[in-house]
Amino acid sequence: MGQETNTREYKKYKKESQVREIWRRFRKSRVAMIGLILLACIILVAIFADVITPYERAIEQHGADRFTPPCGQYLFGTDHLGRDMFARIVHGSRYSLLIGISTSLLSLVIGGLIGAFCGYYGGAFDNLVMRLMDVLMSVPPVLLSLAVVAALGADLKNLLVAMTISCVPGTVRLVRSVVISVADQDYIEAAHSYGGGDWRIILKYVLPNAMGPIIVSTTMNISAMILSAAGLSFIGMGVQPPAPEWGSLLNESRAHMFEAPYLLYVPGICILLTALGFNLVGDGLRDALDPKLKD
Amino acid sequence: MEKEKFLEVRNLKVVYQTDAATVHAVNHISFSLARGETLGLVGETGAGKTTTALSILRLLPERTARIQEGEILFEGNSLLPLSEAEMRKIRGEKISMIFQDPMTALNPVIPVGRQIAESLILHNEQGLSRDAIEELVEKSLEMVGIPASRKGEYPHQFSGGMKQRVVIAIALACNPDLLIADEPTTALDVTIQAQVLRMMKDLRERLGTAMIMITHDLGIVAQICDYVGVMYAGEIVEYGRMEDIFDAPRHHPYTLGLFGSIPDLESDARRLTPIEGLTPDPSNLPSGCKFSPRCPQCRDVCRQKAPDIWQNGQHRIACHLYSGKEAQT
Amino acid sequence: MSVPMLETCGLKKYFKVKNGLLHAVDGVDLRIEKGETLGVVGESGCGKSTLGRTVLQLIKPTDGTVKFQGKEITGLSRHELKRLRRDMQIIFQDPYSSLNPRMSVQELIAEPILINKVCRSHSDTFRLVAELMDTVGLDQRLSGSYPHELDGGRRQRIGIARALALNPQFVVCDEPVSALDVSIQAQILNLLMDLQEERGLTYMFITHDLSVVRHISKNIAVMYLGKCVELCPSKELFKNPLHPYTQALLQAVPIPRSEMKYKEMEVLNGEVSSPVNPKPGCRFAARCKYCRPECREGELPLKDMGEGHWVSCRLYETGTEGGDAT
C-alpha cells in the first residue's frame, strides 16, 4: 500500500515539474505565444459572447438596414436580411469553436487509441480495423457526414457525431504509422526487458514519442472541421438557420459577393485567424514537448 | 627526385556558426601530399577529420560553415577562390570522395551501371560515345571485383560490401588524382573490410591515385597509409611517416592514449588503459593545449600556452613535453 | 559439477520470411558458469543478437531449451517471466536508440525500479538511482539531463546503470561498445569488467570485434550463420584457432603495427550466404578453402578436441590433427 502511494507521489512530482518545464519552453517561441494570445482572444469572445452583445441582435432582422457597410452602428455591417454581422460573428464563434475543437479532440481520442493498438499489436486485429478504415476512407468525408446526418436527423449533436466519424479514419492511419515506427525502436525492447507492461509502454514510451505529428495534425483538423461544418450547414445538414456559424455566414454571403464583399471578408478572416492560432499553438506545443529541441 | 606537393593545406581554420555557438571544427592545420601517396587522418568523433575532407572538396554546408583562414592548394592552384562551376569540374574528375555509409550513398532507383556512367557523362570532355562510356562502366565494375553483367542491377540487390565497391567504382570512374575516403570500411564486417581494403590497396598501386584515408582504426592506418596525421579537437597533434607514428620513441600523449585504448589481439593484459575524460566541446575549447584536461603528463604551461611544434625529419609533435629538446637522431 | 548460470540446448529460432524460413539461430548449445563471461563473436547476420534475445526470452525460441540456474525458462507465463527479468538484463548496442528520448537520466534509471516496485518509497528510489549513477561513473548533476544532450559514452553508462538497477545476476551485453569511440570504448570495457568483479556478474558478451572480446571473456563462441562453429577458452582461440572461419576472422582484423604494411593480406573471399533456407552441411562450405564434397552434406555436431576446445568442422573428424589448416 505504502509503496503504491509513494510511487504515485513520485509520479505526481514528476508531472508537475514536467508541465512547468514544457510551459517554460513553449514561452520561448514568440510565434507560438502570438498564436496562444490569438486563440485566447477568440475563446474569450466565445465565452463572453452574451456579455459583448445579446444573442437577439444576431438574429434580429432590420429590413431597412440591409447591406449596410461597416459603420458605427453595425461594426461589421449587415447581411441580406439586415442582421448585425458583428453580433453574428461573436455568437458564431461559439458554434465554430465547439464544432472544431470537440470533433477533432473526439476523433483524436478514439482514432488515437485505435491507431495505437493497431500499430503496437499488429496482426489480425490491425488488419480488420485497417480494412474497415479503408472502407470509411473510400467515401468522401463530406458524403460520409451527410449520410450519418441524414440517418440520425439534422441537429448539432448529430453533426458532431457525423464529423467525428468522418475524421477518425485519417487519425487512425496517422497514429498507426507513427506508432509503428516508434515501436520499432530499441527503447521499447528495453522496456520489455525490465518487465514493463503493455499499457505502460504505450502510454509512457510510444505515445509521447509519437506526439509531434499527432499534435500538428489535430490542430490542422480543427480548422478543417470548422470549414467542413460550414459546407454541411450550407446544404442544411449542419447548424440550422438562423443560428450563426462562421461557415454558414460565409455560404450565405456568397450570393452577395459583389454587392457586399465585407460579408465574405469578416467571417473569412475570423476562420483564418482561428486556424492560424491553432496551427501556431500546435507547432509550439510539438516543439515544447520534444526535449531534443530544448534551447 | 624532389617531392612534388600536389595537394597542400596551409593553416586551415574552419568554424561552424550556429545561433547558439561558434564551433571550432578545424583549427590551423597544415599538411601536404605528393602524387600517389596515402595520408591517414586518425582521430575520434568530432576531431575535425570529415570537416577537413569536406573543405578540400568545398562541400561544407554553406549556411553554417566558414573557412576562416588558410589556403588549400591543388596542383599549385588555390581552390578556395574558385567559382562553384569551376569546383564542379574538379570534383569527381580530379578529386573524388567515398562516404562512410554505402547504404545511403547510392540512389536506390537507378541501376548501378547508370550511376557510374553519370559521373563519366558529367565530365565527358573528350566527347566519348555512348558505347565507349558503357565500356568504361564495365571496366570500372570489373576493376572493383564486380562482374560487368551486374551493371543493370539496383543497389538493393547488392550486399553492403558490394555496395561499397560500387561507390568506389563511381569515385574512381573518372580516374581522379586524389581520392578522399571517409571511413570507407567502418560500416562493413571485418572479413568484408579486409576484402575492400585489399582492393583499395591494389587499385592505388595500379592507378597511382593519391589518397586521404579518414579512419579511427589504427590497424587500417598501419595497412595502407604512408603518412599519418593524428587529429584531436581540430588540430593535428602528431604528424609523420606511418613508421614514425608507430615506432618512433617520442609521441604525443594523445597518440599514446589512443594506442593504449585499443584492445590488442596480441597482448594478454586484462585491463585497458583508456584516456580519461571526454573529448572537449568544440564550441568551448580549453585554452593552451587542447588535450591538457585529459593529459596524464599535463603541466602548468600546458594550460596556458599552445605548444610549439617539435620536429624530427618529417615527424612533428605539438606538445610542451618536447619543446626545446633536440631532435634525436 | 555446479549448476551453470545459463545453459542452452538445441536452441533454435526461425523467422518466417517471404521466401522461406530464416534460420537465425540454428541449434546452439552453450553453457555459462556463474561469474564468467562468454563472448559470442560473429559477423552481421550470424544470429548473435537473436541468440541474446532468445536466451532472455525477449524472443520466443522455435525449439530447444534455455535453463537459467538449472531451471527451464522456456514457456514460462508472463508473470513468471516478469519475475525472471530482475535476474537477467540486457545492455543494448546503440546508446542512441535504446533510451527513451522523452525521459531524463534519472527517470530512465528509475524506470525498472518503479516497474518492479523494488523500492518502498520515492526517496529510496532516488537514493538507489543516485547510487547507480555513482557506480557507473555518471555525475549527479546530469540526473535532469536528457539523453540527446549527452555523448555516446555517457549514454551507454545510463544503459548499464539501467540494466544494473534490478541487481541482476546475468547480463547480455549486445555490442555495448561498438558504437563508441576507441578511447571511450576502453573506459566502458573497464567499467564492465570492474562491475563483474564487484557484483559477481555473469556476462554473455556479443560482439563482432574479436579484439574487444579477448580481454573480457573466459570462453568464446564463434558463430556463423546461426551455428556455433567453434567454442573454446579465450586464450586458446587466439593461440590455436581450429575452424577455418575463425582463422579467417582473426586474420582479417587489421593489427596496428607498422610491419603490417608490407605483409600480404590474407583475405577470405565471398560473402556470407543467405540464412534463408540454408543448404545442408557446413554453413561455411561455400567460402572455405578446405571445402570437400562431404562438407556439403549432413549435420555436423561440435567435436571435443580436448581442454574445452570444441569445433564443428570435417577437417577434425578423423580425430587426428592431420588436416592442420594453418
Higher pLDDT: A193 or A10? It is A193
pLDDT in tens, C54-89: 999 998 999 999 999 999 998 888 888 888 888 999
Residues on chain C touching A196 (C-beta within 8 angstroms)? 111, 115
Distance from CA of A169 to the nearest CA of C (A): 28
What was the pLDDT predicted at C298? 79
Residues on chain B touching C47 (C-beta within 8 angstroms)? none
Instruction: Find where cell 575452424 sits.
Output: C243
Residues A55-61, mean pLDDT to the nearest whole number: 81
Average pLDDT, chain C: 87
Cell of C264: 600480404
Distance from CA of A44 to the nearest CA of C (A): 33
pLDDT in tens, B248-301: 888 999 999 988 888 776 666 667 788 888 888 888 888 889 999 889 888 888
Rounded Cα gap, residues B307 and B321, in angstroms: 9
Residue of C nearest to B275 (CA): C183
**pLDDT surpassing 70 at residue B327:** no
User: Of B183, B180, B185, whose CA–CA distance to B195 is shortest?
Assistant: B185
**pLDDT surpassing 80 at residue A140:** yes
Instruction: Find where cell 637522431 sits.
Output: B329
Q: Is the CB of C92 less than 8 angstroms away from the CB of A3? A: no
Segment holding B113, helix H or strand E: helix B112-122
DSSP for residue A78? B
Residues on chain C touching A7 (C-beta within 8 angstroms)? 114, 117, 122
Higher pLDDT: B253 or B5? It is B253
Instruction: Find where cell 546503470 sits.
Output: C161
Residues on chain B touching C183 (C-beta within 8 angstroms)? 44, 257-258, 261, 274-275, 279
Alpha-helical runs (H) found in A29-153:
30-47, 49-52, 56-59, 85-121, 123-138, 141-152
Higher pLDDT: C204 or B203? It is C204
**Preceding omega of C233 cis (within 30 degrees of 0):** no
What was the pLDDT predicted at A217? 87
User: Of A93, A94, A101, whose CA–CA distance to A218 is shortest?
Assistant: A101
What was the pLDDT predicted at B122? 84
What was the pLDDT predicted at A6? 47
User: Of C312, C313, C275, C279, whose CA–CA distance to C296 is shortest?
Assistant: C279
**pLDDT surpassing 80 at residue A36:** yes
pLDDT in tens, A149-163: 888 887 788 888 888
Other beta carbons within 10 angstroms of residue A289's beta carbon come to 18
Instruction: Find where cell 574538379 sits.
Output: B90
Beta strands in chain B (DSSP E): 5-17, 22-34, 38-42, 65-74, 77-78, 95-98, 178-182, 210-215, 227-232, 235-241, 309-312, 315-318
Residues on chain A touching C89 (C-beta within 8 angstroms)? 193-194
Higher pLDDT: B238 or B269? It is B238
What was the pLDDT predicted at C321? 45
* Dihedral angle sign, alpha carbons of residues B191, B197, B201, B207: positive
Rounded Cα gap, residues B197 and B185, in angstroms: 8
Residues A59-72, mean pLDDT to the nearest whole number: 79
Residue of C nearest to A2 (CA): C120
Interface A-C, measured as beta-carbon pairs within 8 A, has a size of: 86
Rounded Cα gap, residues C207 and C39, in angstroms: 7
Average pLDDT, chain B: 87
Higher pLDDT: B101 or C60? It is C60
CA dist B129 → A99, B117, B170, B191 (Å): 66, 12, 19, 39
Fold assignment, C6-87+168-316: Rossmann fold (3.40.50)
Rounded Cα gap, residues B45 and B43, in angstroms: 7
Q: Choose among B197, B222, B274: nearest Cβ to C257.
A: B222
Average pLDDT, chain A: 83
Higher pLDDT: C180 or B1? It is C180
Residue of A nearest to C115 (CA): A196
Residue C201 near residue C215, CB atoms below 8 Å: no
CB-based contacts of A8: which residues, under 8 Å, 6+ apart? none
Q: Is the CB of A291 less than 8 angstroms away from the CB of C97? A: no
Least confident window among A109-113, B18-22, B304-308:
B18-22
Residue of B nearest to C213 (CA): B263
Residue C181 near residue B258, CB atoms below 8 Å: no
Task: Return phi, psi of residue A145, to 5°.
Answer: -60, -40
Best C46, C154, C181 member to test B by mutation, with max B CBs in 10 Å, is C181
- Angle at alpha carbon of residue B194, lines to B191 and B195, rounded to 5°: 90
Task: Categorize the per-residue pLDDT at A85 as very low, low, confident or very high, splitting at 50, 70 and 90.
Answer: confident
Computed on alpha carbons and rounded to an integer, the radius of gyration of chain C in Å comes to: 21
Cell of A252: 450565405
By residue count, chain A amounts to 295
Rounded Cα gap, residues C315 and C73, in angstroms: 36
Q: Please name the chains neighbouring C, where neighbouring means 3+ C-beta pairs under 8 angstroms.
A: A, B
Q: Is the CB of B44 less than 8 angstroms away from the CB of C190? A: no
Residues A74-101, mean pLDDT to the nearest whole number: 85
Residue of C nearest to A293 (CA): C148
**pLDDT surpassing 70 at residue B69:** yes
Q: Choose among C94, C111, C120: nearest Cβ to A194.
A: C111
Tell which C residues from 72 to 101 touch A, by Cβ distance under 8 Å: 81-82, 85-86, 89-90, 92-94, 97-101
Rounded Cα gap, residues A85 and C83, in angstroms: 68
CB-based contacts of B144: which residues, under 8 Å, 6+ apart? B165, B166, B168, B169, B172, B199, B203
Q: Is the CB of B190 less than 8 angstroms away from the CB of C181? A: no
What was the pLDDT predicted at B273? 80
Rounded Cα gap, residues A243 and A95, in angstroms: 9
Residues A40-50, mean pLDDT to the nearest whole number: 91
CA dist A24 → A17, A19, A32 (Å): 10, 9, 12
**pLDDT surpassing 60 at residue A294:** no
Amino acid in position B102: P
Question: How many angstroms from the chain centroid is the CA of residue A31?
Answer: 19
What was the pLDDT predicted at B240? 93
Residue B277 near residue C184, CB atoms below 8 Å: no
What was the pLDDT predicted at C322? 44
Q: Where are the domains of chain C?
A: 6-87+168-316, 99-158
What was the pLDDT predicted at C65? 92
What was the pLDDT predicted at B270? 67
Residues on chain C touching A10 (C-beta within 8 angstroms)? 114, 122, 125
Rank B127-136, B230-239, C93-102, C255-264 by mean pLDDT and report only the highest.
B230-239
Distance from CA of C170 to the nearest CA of A (A): 13
Residues on chain B touching C253 (C-beta within 8 angstroms)? 190, 219, 265
Least confident window among A263-272, B30-39, B218-227, C196-205:
A263-272
- B150 close contact with C: CB closer than 8 A: no
What was the pLDDT predicted at A60? 80
User: Of B73, B80, B78, B74, whose CA–CA distance to B14 is shortest?
Assistant: B80
Q: What is the DSSP string of C98-109?
A: SS-TTS-HHHHH
Rounded Cα gap, residues A239 and A247, in angstroms: 10
Instruction: Find where cell 590488442 sits.
Output: B264
Q: What is the DSSP string of A219-251?
A: HHHHHHHHHHHHHHHHTTSSSPTTS--HHHHHH
Distance from CA of C263 to the nearest CA of B (A): 8
- Give, rounded to a whole angstrom, the gap between the first and last alpha carbons of chain A: 40
Q: Is the CB of B275 less than 8 angstroms away from the CB of C183? A: yes
CA dist B40 → B7, B192, C223 (Å): 14, 20, 33
Rounded Cα gap, residues C93 and C175, in angstroms: 5
Q: Is the CB of C97 less than 8 angstroms away from the CB of A197? A: no
CB-based contacts of C214: which residues, under 8 Å, 6+ apart? B263, B265, C39, C220, C234, C238
Rounded Cα gap, residues A64 and A68, in angstroms: 9
What was the pLDDT predicted at B137? 92
Least confident window among A169-178, A248-257, C103-112, C173-182:
A248-257
Q: Is the CB of C182 less than 8 angstroms away from the CB of B216? A: yes
Cell of C319: 580425430
Percent of chain C with pLDDT over 70: 97
Q: Per-residue b/e over A29-47, b at no fewer than 16 CB within 10 Å?
A: beebeebbebbeebeebbe
Residues on chain B touching C252 (C-beta within 8 angstroms)? 190-191, 193-194
What was the pLDDT predicted at A2? 42
- C162 close contact with A: CB closer than 8 A: yes
Cell of C174: 549486445
Tell which C residues from 227 to 266 touch A, by Cβ distance under 8 Å: none
Distance from CA of C153 to the nearest CA of A (A): 17
Task: Categorize the per-residue pLDDT at A16 as very low, low, confident or very high, splitting at 50, 70 and 90.
Answer: low
Residue C169 near residue C5, CB atoms below 8 Å: yes
pLDDT in tens, A197-218: 888 998 889 988 888 888 888 8
Tell which B residues from 15 to 74 touch C, by Cβ distance under 8 Å: 44-45
Residue of A nearest to C167 (CA): A194
**pLDDT surpassing 80 at residue A13:** no
Domains and CATH numbers, chain A: 13-55+73-288 (1.10.3720.10)
**pLDDT surpassing 70 at residue B1:** no
pLDDT in tens, C140-186: 888 888 888 888 889 999 999 999 999 999 999 999 988 888 888 88
